[in-house]
A and B are shown apart, each in its own frame.
Chain A
Amino acid sequence: MNSVSGFFAYLSACGLENLQFNYFAAVMMFFIGVYTMAASRNLIRLLIGLEISSKGCMLAFIAAGSAAGNIQLVQALLILMISVEAVVVSSGLILIIRAFRQQGNIDPTKLSGLKG
């Protein structure tokens, strides 16, 4: 009985102000994203991995900001980060569209031409 209530106490401690928990979650998101980017040969999936890993970074920023009490600075950084990310993702997608129009293939390792 005691251990069950201890477990619930632990769960309720996993709030926004618990830096370790949020950081753990951010590392998880980052792992998913980077694994996808490294393992995938599909540039669309690469961009999805990029998005997910940067979402993890945003979670880490929010947690750090609300723990340290300067959430306003974090808010400013997040707004800047989101717009940078939008431009990067759209340029990547346009690169994909162009490659597909030229060759009908979006695998960066299996296109024509360049040798070893």
Chain B
Amino acid sequence: MSLHLFLVISMILCSLAAVMAKRTIHAAIFLALVSIILATIMFTAQAPWAGAVELSVCAGLITVLFASTASMIGRGESYAKRESKIFRFLPLGLIIFGVIILCCGDFFEPLFANTHNAAAPSLTTVGDIIWKLRTPDLIGQLCIFVAGVLTVRTMLGEGKDE
């Protein structure tokens, strides 16, 4: 049994647990576990930078955000509890879906044709690729950070002012 197989299976199990958890704080912890496992997969795939960002942002920052939201809306927890029965049959549904996908394997075969002959990249370091190849994306990052800061400022800002 290879390491990768173990990681992937435990990632799927953790995400099921995150979805089916009765309390938001448990869901956030399972989500952090999913992030940590994904970061491990990134490290094994020779993508250490992405793994580091995944660990610090998704496993760190987003978990903290979820946990603080859960504590802020303590009374809202009852809604989460009430609807957890929708997800009781999710594992069964997942298995059925997986079997269907495996049976239709031939249908999806063309997706994997010719993948291996993609053009080799001309730039070889992450920094070069981000700065030179993906300049529009980088500007988009800047836009989304400004948008995020403004959103937080507006929504946590003052009260009625009309």
Q: A residues touching B (Cβ–Cβ < 8 Å)?
A: 8, 11-12, 14-16, 19-25, 27-29, 31-33, 35-36, 39-42, 44-45, 47-49, 51-52, 55, 58-59, 62, 64-80, 82-87, 89-91, 93-98, 100, 104-107
Min distance, Cβ B146 to any Cβ of chain A, angstroms? 10
What secondary structure prevails in chain B residues at the interface with A? Answer: helix
In the complex, the number of residue pairs spanning A and B with C-beta atoms less than 8 Å apart equals 224
Identify the closest chain A residue to B72 (Cβ).
A97
Say whether A79 contacts B152, CB under 8 Å.
no
In the complex the two chains form, is B102's CB within 8 Å of A24's CB? yes
Give the residue name and chain of the B residue nearest to A68 (CB). Answer: B118
Which chain A positions have C-beta within 8 A of B86?
39-40
Taking a contact as CB atoms under 8 Å apart, the answer to whether A24 and B98 are in contact is yes
Total interface residues on B, using CB and 8 Å?
A: 81
B31 touches A69 (CB 8 A): no
Q: Are A73 and B121 in contact, with the CB atoms below 8 A? A: yes
Nearest CB on B from A106, distance (A): 5
Q: Is the CB of A100 within 8 A of B1?
A: no
Shortest Cβ distance from B128 into chain A, in angstroms? Answer: 8
Whether B123 lies near A78 (C-beta < 8 A) is no
Q: Known: A15-B2, A39-B86. Contact between A32 and B145, CB under 8 A?
A: no
Q: Are A82 and B54 in contact (CB under 8 A)?
A: yes
Residues of A within 8 A of B134 (CB): 76-77, 80
| Selected A-B contacts with CB under 8 Å, 27 pairs | A16-B41, A25-B12, A32-B19, A40-B86, A48-B28, A51-B58, A52-B31, A62-B41, A66-B46, A67-B116, A70-B118, A70-B120, A71-B46, A71-B47, A73-B133, A75-B47, A75-B129, A78-B47, A78-B50, A79-B50, A80-B137, A86-B57, A86-B62, A87-B148, A98-B155, A106-B73, A107-B79
